[in-house]
């Protein structure tokens, strides 16, 4: 009888929390995954999707364990097993044939952030594509870049308020962040603060679980948050709530900022946001009476046309009221900037040939279908990503992936919808099968992991896959032979005193290392750390955003509705993006929530099948009637796989790809207008 071993690991999913894990292993298989106490922030708690679905993800019927060659039509899933040598030869031949005719920029890597380990996410793969001279990919616009750009425009690259500081606040504002779904451990910090008497305000287009717990729930119509925040700023000025002493010392651009804010009255904000004036008044009263305000903003805000402006306007309220630089006061964004990362050593951007073009990841389908593109993209390498289930305008991307003259290489842990379009599939190891280094983007604990089970079948870590590719392409430089421990040491500055004299590859796996300032204090912008902006102050007016986007201050324009309903598609409790979307429990019909007034007008009841459609596509869902959304607003969670709809389309088929956000050219997921009809 085999025994069960308990081993330490770290969750690699695209989530700010980066939980420490306790993994039960029996006979070389993961049989249970639980949270561990190694990371004090995550403290033994882990989301249910990890405990429910990870063993199946690693060992289920969809697991990729051998290289595969496509034998049927694209998307059919028909493959035959081949060996690694044959697979590498075919990849080399496909690349070199296209490069001989069109040059190296005919190759496009298409990856995002499936695993968040420093090695699996972006290390040897970047070295390979940089050395090859492939087209570069701007990945951030798909998710995160708008929020990051908005934050940096105000504060630079200085780390934001560590989430555990929320426990010291007397007012907590959760804005566009579904905490219990995608930021679970912040909920525990909020609970602790509320036990000490703190108030909670939740601002969200959907009434979420955390909103049900709030002292005040503010539900603006999707895309109008910037109007609310600007009107509040103007009202703060009128009511004497601005902290002029703080602003004089720590801010620039106050005059043009307030001039913009004064364009919006509370009455205008109430009308545009479809809020009661009493709700906004209550929000202002809570803000004005608080001494230490902590604000947490999620990625929900960035998904609208004016998402960057909304984020900047919300965060600027903290500067205007002096809620920075003190314990419990600040913006819990970019705490991961505290880590001494060295991407120039890990990813080697110095290898990129001068003049190499860069594509916005949101525009990939358009480029693949562009007959005038020179050079054309003839080779696509999909890894760490399931674009067919996560990109806007799903049907256009599907048309692009069916190009028979396009050579597609795929690499993943499981057979996703996107992998079924690849000519060659290279099986990737799960994070349980290799070591990695984890510098979270949502908290300040550094963690290292080691393999807890053997490699499954012939699957390989991303680092080894790209080492072998580099060797097959004749890249003999030592940097392509670097071991995983050497890559870990390249990922962070080994001379940083906070590492305690240890190389990153030597950090213990049973400890999470907290990184604070060099003096050991928590990073507090305008307190223990200064804004890393050109002026060294909070820049309420951004010269950089004005010159590039015409958004020196937050701006707004009303959306043009092409259909009667606006669809929002936030995170799911059952998936992280599309990860775990292939689990049998997640392959049933997806749901769409609609307001009772809308449902009554269309004679729709909970459980009815409905069609959502626009010019880009249509998706068939199961209706759920709920007053958690406003009239005219529909909610359906993102990341579902094609099998969840009987016509092989998900809500991503309805989302525009050509419309971009005001800053950072991000995807406008929540500018999706649709018709609804009962089947």
CATH of the domain at 436: 3.40.50.740
Instruction: State the Cα–Cα distance between residues 615 and 610, nearest whole angstrom.
Output: 17
* Residues contacting residue 202 through CB under 8 Å, at least 6 positions apart: 173, 174, 175, 208, 210, 211, 214, 216, 217, 218
Measured CA to CA, the distance from residue 610 to residue 613 in angstroms comes to 10
Task: Answer whether residue 142 shows pLDDT above 80.
Answer: yes
**CATH code for the domain of 672:** 2.40.40.20
Task: Identify the pLDDT of residue 379.
Answer: 98
Identify the pLDDT of residue 306: 97
> Which residues are paired to 632 by β-bridges?
none
Strand partners, 567: 634, 672
- Please report which residue ranges of 179-265 form alpha helices under DSSP H: 179-182, 184-195, 209-212, 225-238, 244-250, 254-261
Q: 200 and 305: one domain? A: yes
Q: Is residue 283 part of a domain?
A: yes
Region 518-529: what's the mean pLDDT?
95
The verdict on 233 and 151 lying in the same domain is yes
User: pLDDT grade, residue 455 (50/70/90)?
Assistant: very high
Q: What is this structure's pTM?
A: 0.97
Residue 96, pLDDT > 70, answer yes
Question: Residues 622, 655: one domain?
Answer: yes
Euclidean distance between CA atoms 177 and 181, whole angstroms? 9
What CATH number does residue 219 fall under?
Answer: 3.40.228.10
Which structural domain, as residue segments, surrounds residue 246?
A: 147-336+527-548
Residue 572, in any domain of the structure = yes
Check whether residue 172 and residue 258 sit in a common domain. Answer: yes
**488 and 537 part of one domain:** no
Q: Is residue 393 part of a domain?
A: yes
Q: Is the dihedral of CA 246, 250, 253, 257 positive or negative?
A: negative
Residue 521 lies in a domain: no
What's the pLDDT at 108?
98
- Same domain membership, residue 433 and residue 314: no
Report how far apart, in Å, the C-alpha atoms of 91 and of each of 96, 254, 319, 352 are.
9, 56, 53, 21
Confirm whether 3 is domain-assigned: no
User: 192 lies in a domain?
Assistant: yes
Q: Are residues 507 and 613 in the same domain?
A: no
Question: What pLDDT band is residue 604 in, cutting at 50, 70 and 90?
Answer: very high
Diameter of the chain by CA atoms? Answer: 74
Sign of CA dihedral 355, 360, 364, 366: negative
What average pLDDT is seen over the chain?
97
High-pLDDT (> 70) share of the chain, %: 100
Distance between CA atoms of residues 382 and 365, nearest Å: 13
Q: Is residue 397 part of a domain?
A: yes
* 1 — pLDDT class (breaks 50, 70, 90): low
At residue 114, the pLDDT reads: 85
Contact 124, 466 (CB under 8 A): yes
Cα separation, 365 vs 343, whole angstroms: 28
- What tens digit of pLDDT does each residue of 484-507 get? 999 999 999 999 999 999 999 999
User: Considering its fold, how many domains does the chain have in total?
Assistant: 3
Q: In sequence order, which residues have a C-beta less than 8 Å from that of residue 90 and are 6 or more positions away? A: 69, 82, 423, 424
Residues 185 and 204 in one domain: yes
Instruction: Please check whether residues 425 and 572 belong to one and the same domain.
Output: no
- Distance between CA 466 and CA 348 in Å, rounded? 14
Phi-psi region of 668 (alpha: psi -120 to 50; beta: other; left: phi over 0): beta
pLDDT at residue 182 in the model: 85
Q: Are 362 and 137 in contact (CB under 8 A)?
A: no
Cβ contact 169:199 at 8 Å: no
Give CA–CA dist 160/151, Å, rounded: 9
- Answer whether residue 340 shows pLDDT above 70: yes
Q: How high is the pLDDT of residue 573? A: 87
Clarify whether residues 271 and 356 are in a common domain.
no
Pair 298, 389 in one domain = no
Residues 156 and 278 in one domain: yes
For 620-624, which contacts have Cβ atoms below 8 Å and span 24 or more sequence positions?
620/589, 620/645, 620/646, 620/647, 620/679, 621/589, 621/590, 621/591, 621/592, 621/645, 621/651, 622/589, 622/590, 622/591, 622/592, 623/591, 623/592, 623/594, 623/599, 623/678, 624/591, 624/592, 624/593, 624/594
> Considering the domain boundaries, does residue 648 fall inside one?
yes
């Amino acid at each position: 009888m085999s025994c069960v071993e308990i081993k330490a690991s770290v969750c690699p999913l695209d989530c700010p929390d980066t939980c420490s894990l306790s993994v039960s292993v029996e006979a070389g298989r993961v049989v249970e995954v639980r949270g561990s106490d190694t990371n004090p922030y995550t403290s033994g708690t882990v989301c249910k999707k990890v405990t429910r679905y990870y063993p199946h993800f690693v060992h289920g019927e969809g697991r990729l364990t051998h290289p595969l060659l496509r034998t049927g039509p694209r998307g059919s899933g028909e493959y035959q097993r081949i060996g690694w040598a044959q697979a590498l030869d075919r990849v080399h031949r496909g690349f070199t044939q296209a490069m001989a005719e069109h040059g190296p920029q005919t190759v496009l890597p298409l990856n995002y952030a499936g695993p968040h380990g420093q090695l699996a996410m972006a290390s040897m793969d970047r070295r390979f594509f940089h050395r090859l001279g492939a087209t570069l990919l701007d990945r951030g616009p798909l998710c995160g870049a708008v929020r990051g750009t908005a934050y940096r425009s105000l504060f630079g690259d200085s780390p934001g308020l560590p989430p555990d500081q929320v426990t010291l606040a007397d007012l907590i504002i959760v804005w566009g962040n579904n905490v219990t779904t995608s930021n679970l451990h912040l909920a525990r910090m909020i609970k602790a603060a509320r036990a000490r008497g703190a108030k909670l305000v939740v601002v969200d287009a959907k009434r979420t679980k955390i909103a049900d717990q709030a002292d005040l729930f503010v539900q603006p119509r999707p895309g109008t948050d910037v109007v609310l925040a600007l009107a509040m700023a103007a009202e703060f000025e009128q009511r004497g709530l601005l902290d002029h002493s703080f602003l004089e010392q720590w801010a620039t651009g106050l005059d043009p900022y307030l001039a913009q804010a004064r364009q919006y009255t509370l009455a205008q904000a109430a009308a545009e946001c479809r809020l009661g004036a009493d709700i906004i008044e209550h929000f202002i009263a809570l803000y004005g009476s608080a001494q230490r305000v902590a604000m947490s903003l999620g990625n929900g805000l960035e998904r609208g046309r004016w998402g960057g402006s909304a984020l900047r306007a919300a965060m600027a309220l903290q500067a205007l009221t002096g809620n920075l630089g003190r314990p419990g006061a600040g913006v819990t964004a970019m705490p991961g900037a505290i880590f001494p990362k060295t991407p120039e050593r890990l990813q080697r951007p110095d290898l990129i040939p001068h003049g190499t073009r860069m594509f916005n990841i949101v525009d990939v389908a358009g480029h693949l279908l562009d007959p005038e593109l020179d050079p054309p993209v003839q080779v696509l390498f999909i890894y760490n990503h399931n674009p067919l289930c996560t990109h806007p305008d799903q049907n256009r991307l599907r048309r692009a992936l069916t190009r028979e003259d396009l050579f597609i290489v795929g690499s993943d842990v499981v057979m996703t919808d996107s992998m079924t379009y690849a000519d060659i599939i290279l099986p990737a190891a799960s994070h349980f099968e290799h070591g990695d280094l984890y510098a979270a983007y949502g908290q300040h604990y550094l963690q290292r992991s080691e393999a807890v089970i053997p490699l499954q079948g012939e699957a390989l870590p991303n680092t080894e896959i790209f080492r072998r590719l580099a060797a097959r392409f004749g890249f003999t430089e030592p940097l392509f032979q670097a071991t995983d421990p050497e890559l870990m040491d390249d990922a962070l500055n080994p001379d940083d005193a906070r590492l305690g004299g240890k190389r990153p590859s030597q950090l213990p796996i049973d400890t999470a290392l907290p990184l604070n300032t060099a003096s050991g204090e928590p990073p507090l912008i305008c307190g223990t750390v200064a804004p890393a902006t050109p002026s060294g102050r909070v820049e309420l007016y951004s010269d950089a955003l004005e010159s590039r986007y015409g958004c020196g201050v937050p701006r707004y324009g009303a959306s043009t509705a092409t259909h009667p309903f606006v669809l929002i598609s936030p995170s799911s409790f059952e998936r992280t993006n599309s990860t775990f979307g292939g689990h049998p429990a997640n392959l049933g019909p997806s749901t769409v929530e609609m307001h009772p007034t809308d449902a009554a007008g269309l004679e729709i009841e909970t459980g009815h099948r409905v069609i959502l459609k626009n010019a880009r596509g249509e998706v068939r869902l199961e209706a759920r009637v709920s007053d958690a959304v406003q009239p005219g607003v529909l909610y359906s969670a993102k990341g579902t796989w094609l099998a969840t709809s009987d016509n092989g389309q998900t809500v991503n088929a309805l989302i525009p790809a050509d419309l971009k956000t005001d800053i950072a050219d991000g995807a406008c997921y929540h500018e999706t207008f649709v018709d609804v009809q009962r089947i």
